[in-house]
Structure 1
Amino acid sequence: MVSPAGGGVLPATGWYDTNQFTLEVIFHARMRRYGCLTADASRAAAVYVPYYPGLDVGRYLWGFSNGVRDLLAEDLAEWLRGTPAWAAHGGRDHFLVGGRIAWDFRREDGGGEGSQWGSRLLLLPEAMNMTALVIEASPWHRRTDVAVPYPTYFHPWRPSDVSSWQRDARRARRPWLFAFAGAGRGNGDDHDRHHGGGVVRDRVIAQCARSRRCGLLRCGARGRRDDCYDPGNVMRLFKSAAFCLQPRGDSYTRRSVFDAILAGCVPVFFHPGSAYTQYRWHLPRDHAAYSVFVPEDGVRNGTVRLEDVLRRVSAARVAAMREQVIRMIPTVVYRDPRAPSARGFTDAVDVAVDGVIERVRRIKQGLPPGGDDDDDHRWDAYFDTQ
């Protein structure tokens, strides 16, 4: 991670050009310094497995056999089965962190599209007993998957770093009504669960491009330098907008959701799988308190004009949602792993570990691991049947 200049938008310290797939490294570094560690597994509330599955499979995404993709995961499973810690509860108290979306660890062999991508880690019997913290969870595997925030660019050292940034986000001038940063998809298949947002995403971009009230940062455009990986460019745009559009792309979720929260920009979602069914430990259950939901169908068929929808949101409600978003910042960022624990500063790792401990406690008691969330099916109609 290299600290960027930021073009005057970012403070001189605490900001890094962090790749969105580095969660495993960040989490492991934090766990090594965690304040409540024990070497005695019999006394542990939960057992962390320091494996980097995303970095592992990321080496073999193209041009390798499935045997190569699965080798290290299968070695891990064999090793875990032989440990005393595993024998105590069959792995039900173990958890690992995967810095990619769950689909990358749940390859279905059989000659279809999925057989050429990812590993079978989360399909192994051992993994099915564990909790997997991933940046995007499967809605059909809640007993295993738990979504945690993507890494953003901000890794504060102390509480004052966060409070200073929050003040800056509150004072930011926001001349744009709404904004979008990203690339188009145009894959033509808007119902496949892996790539279902392509058509809607392209139409969102088109609406933004036509509006004089929308700020647009195109990523990967032909003949143009890709500026979307520059933290300063992204923060400059999002801090200048009241709303940030978050359509699906290659999968349900985007790192951009957390970039928007970091900028104090109210996210606009088009599918519940982009946030509402994902980050249950880190985002408020009252979705309307911090975001706007526009169902995809209206955008897809051209009956919804986003500028009109967002203009109808009252100034008072926008202010209230923005304040809620800014208050959420501490618990969705990952503190600098080198920083000492700070009283009064609960970050995304702290929230995740507390959630795992409660989840394991419920499992040991024979209760549903997700509590009341397991009974919440109000978004089921938005998902394809498994």
Structure 2
Amino acid sequence: MEKPITGKCSQQLWLVIFVLFVLCLVLSCFDYSTMMGAKNEVTFLFNQPNPLVILENETNSATNQSITDPFVETQSNIDPCQGRYIYVHDLPSRFNYYFLENCQSVTRGTSFNMCPYMVNSGIGPEIENTQGVLSEKSWFSTNQFLLEVIFHNKMKKYQCLTNDSSQASAIFVPFYAGLDASQFLWSPNISVRDSSAQDLLRWLVEKPEWKKMSGRDHFFVAGRISWDFRRQTDESSDWGSKLRFLPESKNMTMLSVEASSWKNDFAIPYPTNFHPSKDSEVFEWQNLMKTQNRSYLFTFAGAPRPDLTNSLRGVAIEQCRSSRACKFIDCSSDGSKCDNPAHLMRVFQSSVYCLQPPGDSYTRRSIFDSILAGCIPVFFHPGTAYAQYLWHFPSNATEYSVYIPVRDMKVWKGNVEKILLGISKEKEMAMREEVIGLIPRIIYADPRSRLETFEDAFDLAVKGVLERVEGVRRVINEGGDPGVGFAEADDYKYTFTEWERFE
């Protein structure tokens, strides 16, 4: 009988294990010495962080650069604010904050009280009873004359502000021009009307920032139409101040709710009541406007002007009242309350088209209220929108609006209802889609926050100013005269001829 082989096998097994252990020990020591190197620059492999994190956090390191490091380093050194820096003048409070503290003075000559609208960074009190028409916590009772306050507060949140004016691409002057002018618009003393503007300009021209480009990189915002600042005579019966005809002021760019025909004035949207604080609030509102049941073919909201005979507004009211397909919102003192956003938006949301004839001036806040509601605007004059909001509306007007040019009311025999009924459903749907897509571009997001995805009206206005100033710099660098064309009048800006392609 043979001896069991168990003892012999176990001895061989332990020998194999011992040899493998020695071999692993030798290999690990060799690998350790290779990783450590002469200067011990790298830690143990299992202590290294995620290599993607290293790429993000160590692009400026001068050691251990791979073949792609120069590209990564170049990318990391790019300043996202290059060409976008804005310096804000710290003006004496009499030119801005005074009006917030003395809000009762800014409507002198009227019975209107602006004080309740100054809260929440100028967007007014939150609308609480929306009657199910407006989305919650993003609608406010906003006064259309507070654009300069809203814009200033949004500028405080601008991501590319700088305290170094030499680094700035543009200089913002936070002068509340509209609130200042409203104190004295009805004063017979033109010296009083012009005094603040003259004092402001004397203050500005003494600053080193002004001397750099003689003020052509400076801009400010006005919450009133440009014509309120372009009094052409020194007759006390002439309206407004002379701010924009003062020599130094001609070198600045002014943004206002309605531009003049001069090339240093630019129009930006009137403030509406919608001030979302998050992108999701914009998406939700746009989706809601896409699903509205629009039972009216067209709507007009406005007050009659008995003193304006043969006016477009009068014809719009007359044709709307005589049509079963139209809803007229009477904004006169004895009519419906057009200052009730819920009431106004309910009707606009129920309408396919919204008539926008000129009123006391070319433009109307109602343009932007109707766009908010997904109601396609109908224009009768190029000065109402096409020649105005160049930074905010598409260059092809037929994409988002209907144009019915009325050159002479005395000979115009057009029927609005018949014209609108002649538009195909396919074209109507395409225009409404475009209108709803414009909503982010014509609103001012809540100044206490900022949108992440969308560019709002403020963002587009700032971008437009920066491009304008950069254009002036190019002229200077090429040896040209930066004053040529900067503040000239454009006599053809509001004529019908330029816009015939949209008829």
User: Which residue pairs with 2:312 in the alignment?
Assistant: 200
Which amino acid letter does the alignment assign opposite residue 284 of structure 2? S
The answer to whether 1:37 aligns with 2:177 is no
User: Which residue pairs with 1:326 in the alignment?
Assistant: 436
Q: Deviations along 1:22-81, whole A, 9 cap, x unmatched? A: 100000000111100001111101000010000001111223511111111111000000
The answer to whether 1:359 aligns with 2:471 is no
Instruction: Name the CA distance, whole Å, in 1 between partners of 2:462 and 2:437.
Output: 20
1:289 paired residue among 395, 399, 411? 399
Q: Deviations along 1:71-120, whole A, 9 cap, x unmatched? A: 1111100000000100111000000001100000111224385x2x2111
Displacement of 1:363 in angstroms is: 1.1
The answer to whether 1:97 aligns with 2:221 is yes
Instruction: Name the CA distance, whole Å, in 2 between partners of 1:335 and 1:146.
Output: 20
Instruction: Name the CA distance, whole Å, in 1 between partners of 2:496 and 2:419.
Output: 23
User: Which residue pairs with 1:234 in the alignment?
Assistant: 344
Instruction: Name the CA distance, whole Å, in 2 between partners of 1:178 and 1:228.
Output: 17
1:260 paired residue among 370, 384, 388? 370
User: Which residue pairs with 1:183 in the alignment?
Assistant: 303
Structure 1 residues 22, 370: closer, same or farther in 2, change over 3 A? farther
2:326 paired residue among 214, 221, 224? 214
The answer to whether 1:147 aligns with 2:258 is no
Instruction: Name the CA distance, whole Å, in 2 between partners of 1:103 and 1:118.
Output: 7
Contact 1:272 1:382 in 2 (8 A): no
For residues 165-180 of structure 1, the aligned pairs below 5 Å read 165-180=285-300
**Secondary structure at 1:276's aligned position in 2?**
coil
Structure 1 residues 161, 370: closer, same or farther in 2, change over 3 A? farther
The answer to whether 1:80 aligns with 2:199 is no
Contact 2:297 2:353 in 1 (8 A): yes
User: Which residue pairs with 1:138 in the alignment?
Assistant: 260
The answer to whether 1:11 aligns with 2:135 is yes
Displacement of 1:124 in angstroms is: 1.1
User: Which residue pairs with 2:425 in the alignment?
Assistant: 315
Structure 1 residues 378, 360: closer, same or farther in 2, change over 3 A? closer
Which amino acid letter does the alignment assign opposite residue 231 of structure 2? R
TM-score scaled by structure 1?
A: 0.90
TM-score scaled by structure 2?
A: 0.70
Which amino acid letter does the alignment assign opposite residue 294 of structure 2? R
Instruction: Name the CA distance, whole Å, in 2 between partners of 1:162 and 1:66.
Output: 45
Contact 2:189 2:236 in 1 (8 A): no
Which amino acid letter does the alignment assign opposite residue 455 of structure 2? T
Instruction: Name the CA distance, whole Å, in 2 between partners of 1:370 and 1:352.
Output: 20
Structure 1 residues 158, 90: closer, same or farther in 2, change over 3 A? same
Which amino acid letter does the alignment assign opposite residue 308 of structure 1? K
Displacement of 1:128 in angstroms is: 0.5
Displacement of 1:276 in angstroms is: 0.2
Instruction: Name the CA distance, whole Å, in 2 between partners of 1:24 and 1:208.
Output: 35
Structure 1 residues 370, 153: closer, same or farther in 2, change over 3 A? farther
Contact 1:283 1:328 in 2 (8 A): yes
Structure 1 residues 316, 112: closer, same or farther in 2, change over 3 A? farther
Q: Deviations along 1:301-324, whole A, 9 cap, x unmatched? A: 351010000000001100000000
Instruction: Name the CA distance, whole Å, in 2 between partners of 1:246 and 1:319.
Output: 19
Contact 1:180 1:215 in 2 (8 A): yes
**Secondary structure at 2:131's aligned position in 1?**
helix
**Identical-pair percentage:** 47
**Secondary structure at 1:38's aligned position in 2?**
coil
**Secondary structure at 1:47's aligned position in 2?**
strand
Instruction: Name the CA distance, whole Å, in 1 between partners of 2:493 and 2:211.
Output: 38
**Structure 1 vs Structure 2 CA RMSD:** 2.2
Q: Deviations along 1:254-296, whole A, 9 cap, x unmatched? A: 0000001111000000000000000000000000000001112
Size of the alignment, in residue pairs? 366
**Secondary structure at 1:109's aligned position in 2?**
coil
1:271 paired residue among 381, 395, 401? 381
**Secondary structure at 2:257's aligned position in 1?**
strand
Which is further off, 60-69 or 304-313?
Answer: 60-69
**Secondary structure at 1:349's aligned position in 2?**
helix
Which amino acid letter does the alignment assign opposite residue 495 of structure 2? D
Instruction: Name the CA distance, whole Å, in 1 between partners of 2:441 and 2:288.
Output: 18
If you compute each CA radius of gyration, which structure gives the higher value, 1 or 2? 2
Structure 1 residues 84, 92: closer, same or farther in 2, change over 3 A? same
Contact 1:103 1:138 in 2 (8 A): yes
The answer to whether 1:159 aligns with 2:279 is yes
**Secondary structure at 2:339's aligned position in 1?**
coil
Which amino acid letter does the alignment assign opposite residue 163 of structure 1? F
User: Which residue pairs with 1:26 in the alignment?
Assistant: 150
Which amino acid letter does the alignment assign opposite residue 67 of structure 1? S
